[in-house]
Amino acid sequence: MKIKAPKGMRDFYPEDMRRQNWLFDAWRRASRAFGFEEYEGPIFEDLALYTLKSGEGIVSEIFHFESRGGDHFAIRPEMTPTLARMVAARANAMPAPIKWFSLPRMCRAERPQRGRLREFFQWNADILGVEDPLADAEIIALAVEFFRSVGLTAEDVVIRVNSRRLAAAALTSLGIAPERHEQAFALIDRHERLPADVFDTMWTEAFGESPSAGRLTEFLKTSSREETLRLARESGEAGAAAADQFDELWTRLDEFGVSDWRAFDLRIVRGLAYYTGIVFEAHTRGGELRALLGGGRYDDLTGLLDGPRVPGVGFGMGDAPVFEALKSLDKLPTPGESLDVFLIDADAALFPQVLRIAGELRQTGLRVDFSYKRAAIGKQFRQADARGAQVAIVVGAELAARGELTVKHLASGAQRGVSTNELRDDAWKALGLKPA
C-alpha cells in the first residue's frame, strides 16, 4: 500500500531540514540578541480558545476533533490565543516588559488545490505589559535585524508602518463615520490582494461615493506622514495624542538605526479588529509577493480570558513567505552536509582503531564519521569530500609505530602528523578546528 504525506503538508528530508534549521537559528539568534525569551504551547487547544477570539466562522478554517472524553480540540492555527492564555494565567507575577518569542508549528484547513500549505512554522514575537512607543520601535527593529542577518538590505525589504488611530482620523476626514471604520479597515486590508475593479465594486457597494473608491485609493496611496499627522492633530485631542506617539515611534526607529527600512503607508491597516495602535507589514520592495510579516499594537491581549488588562505589540512571520522572498531575491542559501572529521583506515585490520578514535573524538563534540565498508584509501577520501568533512584522519602503520595519525585538511590539502596524545589533550586545537 502506498501512502503519501497529506496534501499541503511537508516532509523535511535532511537537505530540507538543514534549510529549515538555518531559518529557525536565524529567528532564534535575532530574538535572543534583543533579549527575548522563548516559550511554547500545546499543538492543540480547546476549540473554544479560537471561537472566543474569532467567532464560529473560524471552525471551517481549522482542523478540529472531539476526543473520546467529549472535549472539542483544534490544532492551533495561530499562536496568539495560546500566548493570551499563558499570560493571563501569570500576568500578575511577571514584571513588564515581557519580551517573548516562539517558533510554533501550526495548521490551517486550507483547500489543498489552492496549493497553499496546511502546515507551516511561524516566528511570533511580542512585547507585553507596556504602552510605550519604545516597544513598538523595538519590535520593528527586531524584524529588521532578522532581515539584515539573513543578508537582506533596506533595498530588498521595506517595513510599511501605519497607525489604526491615524488611519481613523484620516477616514473621518474623508467623511467616513467612526462606527464604520472597522468595516472600512477590513476592506482596505484586502485592497492590495484584490483586482482593482473588484475592490472598487466592493467599496462602492459598501460606501457608495462617500468617498468614491478612486478618491479613497488615491488618498491612501499619496498621503504623506506629515499630512496624516497634521490631519490627526486637527481632529482633536485623541488624534493629537496618536500623532505624538507616532512621532516618538519614528524617533525611536532612528535611534535603533533602522530608518532606512521603514516607510509610512496609510494603506496598511491589517484586517483584525484586535489591533488598536500601530500596524505594520514587511514587503519586498518589488511588492509582488505577499507580506513577509504582519503585526501591530493591541490594547488587551487577555481581555477575553478574564485576565488583567495586558497591552502589547507583536508580529508573526511565516516560514514560507520568507523562503519565497529569499528565493526571488536570489539570497536563499543551500546549506550542505557538514562534518568535522572523517576517519580513514589505511588497512582494514586497523578499522577497530578507527572506531576507538571515533568514540573518543565524538565525546569532544566534534562531528565524526567513517565508512561502513572497508575500501581503498582513495575511495574513503572521496566519501570524506562527499560528506563535507573539514579534515580526514588517516589511521595507518604510524599509529602502532609512533602513536601518530595523518591529518589532512580537505580544503587546502595541507597534511601533517598529529600524535594521539595531542588529540586527547585538545582535539579541536590539534586538528585546527573551531566550533561552527
Applying CB under 8 A, the span of 178-186, 190-198, 251-259, 267-275 interacting with its own copies comes to 251-259
Which residues make Cβ contacts (< 8 Å) with residue 138, sequence separation at least 6?
34, 127, 252, 256
The answer to whether residue 183 forms part of the interface with its own copies (CB under 8 A) is no
Contact between residue 282 and residue 291 where contact means Cβ atoms under 8 Å apart:
yes
Q: Which is nearer to its own copies, 233 or 374 (CB)?
A: 374
Q: Which of positions 194-233 make contact with its own copies (CB under 8 A)?
A: none
One of 337, 347, 385, 426 touching its own copies (CB under 8 A): 337
> Min. distance of Cβ 68 from its own copies in angstroms?
6
One of 175, 178, 208, 359 touching its own copies (CB under 8 A): 359
- Cell 499563558 locates to 86
Q: Which of positions 97-136 make contact with its own copies (CB under 8 A)?
A: 97, 99-100, 105, 107, 109, 111-112, 119, 130, 132, 134-135
Q: Which is nearer to its own copies, 45 or 244 (CB)?
A: 45
Q: Which of positions 131-160 make contact with its own copies (CB under 8 A)?
A: 132, 134-135, 141, 145, 148-149
The answer to whether residue 75 forms part of the interface with its own copies (CB under 8 A) is yes
The answer to whether residue 387 forms part of the interface with its own copies (CB under 8 A) is yes
Q: Which is nearer to its own copies, 378 or 434 (CB)?
A: 434
C-alpha cell at 162: 501605519
Q: Which is nearer to its own copies, 141 or 329 (CB)?
A: 141
The answer to whether residue 335 forms part of the interface with its own copies (CB under 8 A) is no
Distance CA 150, CA 374 (A): 41
Applying CB under 8 A, the span of 4-12, 152-160, 395-403, 412-420 interacting with its own copies comes to 4-12
Q: Provide the CA 248 distance to its chain's centre, in angstroms.
A: 26
Q: Which is nearer to its own copies, 67 or 412 (CB)?
A: 67
Which residues make Cβ contacts (< 8 Å) with residue 140, sequence separation at least 6?
159, 161, 253, 256, 258, 262, 280
> Min. distance of Cβ 236 from its own copies in angstroms?
29
Contact between residue 136 and residue 258 where contact means Cβ atoms under 8 Å apart:
no
Applying CB under 8 A, the span of 36-44, 160-168, 210-218, 401-409 interacting with its own copies comes to 36-44
Q: How far is CA 153 from CA 33, 260, 262, 268, 297, in A?
A: 19, 9, 12, 21, 25
Q: Which is nearer to its own copies, 29 or 230 (CB)?
A: 29
Amino acid at 218: E
Q: Which is nearer to its own copies, 48 or 397 (CB)?
A: 48
Q: Which is nearer to its own copies, 40 or 155 (CB)?
A: 40
One of 4, 92, 349, 401 touching its own copies (CB under 8 A): 4
The candidate with the shortest Cα–Cα distance to 44, out of 105, 93, 89, 124, is 105
Within 55-195, where are the H helices?
Answer: 80-90, 133-149, 164-173, 181-190
Contact between residue 297 and residue 276 where contact means Cβ atoms under 8 Å apart:
yes
- SS3 at position 137: helix
One of 171, 366, 384, 431 touching its own copies (CB under 8 A): 366
C-alpha cell at 333: 542559501
One of 200, 227, 230, 256 touching its own copies (CB under 8 A): 256
Distance CA 60, CA 305 (A): 23
